């Protein structure tokens, strides 16, 4: 005759310590399953496995499963700039991959509603997110950094001509998705200081912002405006990254600085914030990014630049 010990032994085979509160009353088994960290498919599979296993036991006629999950403390890191074309999206992608390599559970939100690029950078173009109820399920990819982007929802090449309220609702869907056990969300912000940025800061409260700039004065002027916007919203500034900093000639090895040198570091010092590091102006970064192969996946010098910044970011996260 089946008893609780037999049921628990059967559950151990399929639920591996995730079950509790097992009861058996007149052929009816009830139990609680802890599904923390499992995505929708895995939750469904474990429930089916549990019910199938128990219904094979003598005397078990019905199985009731209640699923619970611990709430994950999820922190948002905004990667912003005052203008476009400074490499913010590329930095976001590679930081996410580098943080994952450090052992963090990382996801990516492409908040650039009007100009999404994360599907290309993470090599998952053409994939549509599924949904669980009203929540989107992030799109998987070979780099194991789940991502959501308007690029996954709009048709290829479609112009997204939305006013602020519609863009804000779209952002809400991307952020409040079914992120599972993801602990850190890197948010690739749109350029400038408009409606989407305000919605992100007011409604989702990033724990910190990383500012990206190229070294020249015009870019730095806009970066200062981005810093001011985050400070007005009381979002801590983690630091500044200088992108496109120095070009090494592949033929002679000479370093030149078409955009200037050290401007972002000097600006960070003037504003009393941390300087997080430099990313070189390198054609390999452009080629690999366009090909959906983030440099942070390699042990190249280009990849090392992103990993060094990610380590500083991880240190900041550990202190806050």
Q: Please indicate if the annotation marks 89 as binding a ligand.
A: yes
Q: Please indicate if the annotation marks 87 as binding a ligand.
A: yes
**Mind listing the pLDDT tens digit of every residue in the chain (320 residues)?**
578 999 999 999 998 889 999 999 999 999 999 988 787 788 889 999 999 999 999 999 999 999 887 777 899 999 998 777 788 999 999 999 999 999 999 999 999 888 899 999 999 999 999 887 788 999 999 999 999 999 998 877 777 777 777 888 888 999 999 898 899 999 999 876 677 888 888 888 999 999 998 877 667 788 888 888 899 989 999 999 998 887 777 777 677 766 666 778 888 888 889 999 999 888 889 899 999 999 999 988 889 999 999 999 999 998 87
Q: Please indicate if the annotation marks 82 as binding a ligand.
A: yes
- In DSSP notation, the chain reads ---HHHHHHHHHHHHTT-EEEEEEETTEEEEEEE-TT--HHHHHHHHHHHHHHHHTSTT--EEEEEEE-PPP--EEEEEE-SSSSSSHHHHHHHHHHHHHHTT--EEEEE--SSS--HHHHTT-TT----EETTEE-PBP-TTS--EEEHHHHSPTT------HHHHHHHHHHHHTS--TT--EEEEEPPSSSSHHHHHHHHHH--SEEEEEE-SSHHHHHHHHHHHHHHHHTTPPEEEEEEES--EE-TTT--EE-TT-SSHHHHHHHHTT--EEEEE---HHHHHHHHTT--GGGS-SHHHHHHHHHHHHHHHHHHH-
Q: Please indicate if the annotation marks 88 as binding a ligand.
A: yes
Q: Please indicate if the annotation marks 44 as binding a ligand.
A: no
The pTM for the full model equals: 0.79
Q: Please indicate if the annotation marks 62 as binding a ligand.
A: no
């Amino acid at each position: 005759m089946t008893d609780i010990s037999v049921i628990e032994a059967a559950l151990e085979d399929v639920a591996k310590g995730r079950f509790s509160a097992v009861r058996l009353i007149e052929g009816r088994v009830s139990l609680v399953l802890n599904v923390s960290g499992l995505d929708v498919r895995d939750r469904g599979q474990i429930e089916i496995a549990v019910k199938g296993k128990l219904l094979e036991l003598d005397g078990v006629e019905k199985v009731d499963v209640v699923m619970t999950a611990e709430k994950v403390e999820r922190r948002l890191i905004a990667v912003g700039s005052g203008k476009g074309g400074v490499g913010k999206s590329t930095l976001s992608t590679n930081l996410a991959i580098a943080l994952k390599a450090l052992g963090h559970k990382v996801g990516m939100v492409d908040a650039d509603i009007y100009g999404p690029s994360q599907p290309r950078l993470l090599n998952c173009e053409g994939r549509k997110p599924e949904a669980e109820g009203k929540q989107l399920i992030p799109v998987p990819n070979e780099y194991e950094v789940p991502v959501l982007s308007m690029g996954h929802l709009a048709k290829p090449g479609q112009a997204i001509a939305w006013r602020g309220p519609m863009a804000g609702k779209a952002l809400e869907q991307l952020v409040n998705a079914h992120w599972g056990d993801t602990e850190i969300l890197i948010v690739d912000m749109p350029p400038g200081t408009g409606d989407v940025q305000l919605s992100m800061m007011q409604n989702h409260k990033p724990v910190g912002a990383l500012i990206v700039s190229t070294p020249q004065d015009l870019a730095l002027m806009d970066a200062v405006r981005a810093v001011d916007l985050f400070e007005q919203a009381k979002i801590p500034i983690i630091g500044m990254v200088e992108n496109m900093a120095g070009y090494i000639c592949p033929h002679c090895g000479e370093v030149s600085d078409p955009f200037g040198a050290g401007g972002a570091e000097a600006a960070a010092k003037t504003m009393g914030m941390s300087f997080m590091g430099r990313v070189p102006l390198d054609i390999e970064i452009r080629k690999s990014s366009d090909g959906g192969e983030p440099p942070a996946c390699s042990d190249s010098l280009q990849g090392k630049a992103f990993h060094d910044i990610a380590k500083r970011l991880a240190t900041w996260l550990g202190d806050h």
